[in-house]
Amino acid sequence: MIHVLEIALRGAVTRAVNRELNRLRRTGVTGPFLLEAMAKLHDQHNLRDWVDRRVRRAVDHPIPKLVCSEALT
């Protein structure tokens, strides 16, 4: 569960998610309460879909690599 939350929250998140994360940090939520709050946040904001879209986008559009085989003299 922690791994799933970490992947979802490491990437770009919406302002609403960022606001909720900052609220959790400011109020000093820790331990199992933090895990529960983050799991709820994950479900409320459909972060699973965000992660799936990011992975799909990376697979669908691989980054092109340019190789220069000409030596400069």
**Residue 21 CB coordination number (10 Å):** 15
The greatest distance separating any two alpha carbons of the chain, rounded to the nearest whole angstrom, comes to 64
**Structural domains of the chain, count:** 1
Domain for residue 68, yes or no?
no
Residue-number span of the structural domain to which 24 is assigned: 2-60
Q: Identify the CA nearest to 14 among candidates 38, 50, 52, 58.
A: 50
Domain for residue 36, yes or no?
yes
Domain for residue 71, yes or no?
no
Sign of CA dihedral 42, 44, 45, 46: positive
The length of the chain is 73
Q: What is the pLDDT of residues 9-64, one digit of tens each?
A: 777 788 988 899 999 999 999 999 998 998 898 888 887 775 555 555 555 556 66
- In terms of pTM, does the model score above 0.85? no
